[in-house]
Amino acid sequence: MIARILAMVMRYLFIYKRSYIRIAELVFFPLMDLLVWGFVTLYLEQVTQSKAVLFMLGGIILWDIFFRAQQAVGMSVLQEMWVGNTLNLFVSPLRSYELIISTAIVGFIRALITISGLGACAYLLYAFNILELGFALVPLFGLLLFFGWTVGLFTAALILRYGEAAESLAWIVPFLIQPFVAVFYPVSALPPLLQVFAQVFPCTHIFEGMRSVLHDGGIPWGSLVSAFLLTLVWISLTGTYLARTLTHVRRKGYLTTAARG
């Protein structure tokens, strides 16, 4: 099992060995976000004397952990379709959970590269130290990874079910929830109905927790526990949906049409 998981991790990492563009892409877009929104917020901070810049920079960096984890898992199926390799994988002894674990490991590595790069830039440009989050950074990072993997699995299931037609979903899904999960502003900024809706996403509690740490330094146990429990619910639901999707695509013969399509 471990040999097959490592083989798939290497399959995805081999690509980075030759492509500086792919490596740069891990940091480029988040860095652009960090520059634009960082300076905008810096200006607002001068005007309003608030902690907005801290919250904004923390939000940008943590959001990218979620995004990278989601992309690594969600895009893996699509990548295999693009290079015509889906069929070979599905007739190999590679089990579905082994493929998922390998993409999750790649997601972890990608997130680690992004957070390191952004963390360093934020420190140099804005004197913002992500390590100020202290011990809370560990559960925040872990929970975001898990929820990112979960949303990635949901995206992968959609791509398996609907084929390359669902390609754009791999990019869109994270941004569908972004406005509601308190990444850059607190839940209290949302209209009352959306505040209730926001509570169902683990992300909301993670970003609220981040703001709480940056505000008073205490570990927001309540937010962390809520995020953890919600992540378990989301993983169960997504796992069930993925299992059903695999049965469905095997019944319909979609695995083979996706590979040739």
Partner 1 sequence: MTVVTVTNVVKRFGETIAVRGISFSAERGEILGLLGPNGAGKTTTMHMMLGLTSHDEGSVRILDLEMPKDRYQILQRVNFASAYVSLPANLTIDESLYVYGKLYNVKDPKRRAKEVLEELEVDLPGSALVGTLSAGQKTRLNLCKALLNKPAVLFLDEPTASLDPDIAIKVRAILKKLQKNHGTTIIYTSHYMQEVEELCDRTIFLARGSIVATGTPAEIRERSKLKNLEEVFVTIARDGELRDSAEKDDR
If one asks whether residue 11 binds partner 1 (CB under 8 A), the answer comes out as yes
Residue indicated by tokens 């979960």:
150
If one asks whether residue 176 binds partner 1 (CB under 8 A), the answer comes out as no
Residue type at position 6: L
SS3 220: coil
If one asks whether residue 4 binds partner 1 (CB under 8 A), the answer comes out as yes
CB of 99 to partner 1, least distance (A): 10
Per the CB < 8 A criterion, the answer to whether 133 and 206 are in contact is no
CB of 149 to partner 1, least distance (A): 21
Stretch that binds partner 1, among 2-10, 105-113, 147-155, 200-208 (CB under 8 A): 2-10
Residue type at position 102: S
CB of 2 to partner 1, least distance (A): 10
If one asks whether residue 84 binds partner 1 (CB under 8 A), the answer comes out as yes
CA dihedral defined by 25, 112, 206, 136, rounded to 10 degrees? -150
d(CA 207, CA 66): 11
If one asks whether residue 14 binds partner 1 (CB under 8 A), the answer comes out as yes
Name the E strands within 133-241: none
Stretch that binds partner 1, among 11-19, 146-154, 169-177, 224-232 (CB under 8 A): 11-19
Taking the least distance from each CB to partner 1, the nearer of 179 and 261 is: 261
If one asks whether residue 90 binds partner 1 (CB under 8 A), the answer comes out as yes
Task: Kindly tell me which residue out of 88, 129, 236, 240 binds partner 1, with binding defined by CB under 8 A.
Answer: 88
Q: Which residues contact 38 (CB under 8 A, 6 or more apart)?
A: 53, 56, 57, 60, 122, 125, 126
CB of 27 to partner 1, least distance (A): 21
Task: Kindly tell me which residue out of 50, 92, 236, 240 binds partner 1, with binding defined by CB under 8 A.
Answer: 92
Task: Kindly tell me which residue out of 28, 39, 43, 95 binds partner 1, with binding defined by CB under 8 A.
Answer: 95
Residue type at position 185: Y
Per the CB < 8 A criterion, the answer to whether 105 and 185 are in contact is no
Task: Kindly tell me which residue out of 40, 200, 232, 250 binds partner 1, with binding defined by CB under 8 A.
Answer: 250
d(CA 153, CA 244): 13
Please give the residues from 210 up to 249 whose contact with partner 1 meets the rule CB under 8 A.
Answer: 247
If one asks whether residue 259 binds partner 1 (CB under 8 A), the answer comes out as yes
- Angle at which helices 52-82 and 2-18 cross, to 10°: 100
Per the CB < 8 A criterion, the answer to whether 8 and 98 are in contact is yes
First CA to last CA across the chain, in angstroms? 30
In 3D, which of 53, 16, 7 has the Cα closest to residue 34?
A: 53
Q: Where does this chain bind partner 1 (CB under 8 A)?
A: 3-4, 6-8, 10-11, 14-15, 80, 83-85, 87-88, 90-95, 247, 250-253, 255-256, 259-260
